Amino acid sequence: MGITWVEVCLISAHGLQHSTSLWKRQWFAVGWIDLDSKYCTKVVDSGSGNPEWRTKFAIPVEDSAPNLLDLALNVEVYSTDPIFFTEKLHGSATVFLREFLVKQVKNSEVSNPKQQGVGSYQLRKKKSSKPRGFIDILICISNEKKEPNPHSGI
């Protein structure tokens, strides 16, 4: 029984709604695997619909967990009104981690300690199939925790 680390970097979003008001729209994202441990990016002022966060977090997962292959990363992107400070859910995405976890198990047997991938995932409004832009995410699965490097490219 060991620990597998799921490291996530919420890089950026693109194709979000442009602001039609005089004030720049502010954006932030929230990501989680476990509802009890949510991670939030910084709030970014972006006149365009392309905010960039580069927020990293790591989540430990027990290898022997019965639902290991059913784990999913959930991400929600919010806009904030700069005057009234109200938050509005813009869209959400769910990234199933099965493919990353299966590859990690296979690669750990061959002494390849890390499985990673970058993807652009479509954001959708809840109860709607209408696309609302994309979020770029780096996912890294490893057997040891890597300390986030603030000077790295991502």
CATH number at residue 65: 2.60.40.150
Which residues span the domain enclosing 51?
3-142
Please compute, for residue 61, the number of CA atoms within 13 A of its CA located in the half-sphere on the CB side. 27
In total, how many domains does the chain have?
1
137 by Cβ neighbours in 10 Å (0-12 / 13-18 / 19+) ranks as buried
Is position 59 within any domain?
Answer: yes
**Tell me, what's the pLDDT at 116?**
86
Is position 151 within any domain?
Answer: no
Least confident of 13-22, 37-46, 68-77: 13-22
The whole model's pTM is what?
A: 0.85
**How many other C-beta atoms are found inside a 10 Å radius of the C-beta of residue 9?**
22
Is position 152 within any domain?
Answer: no
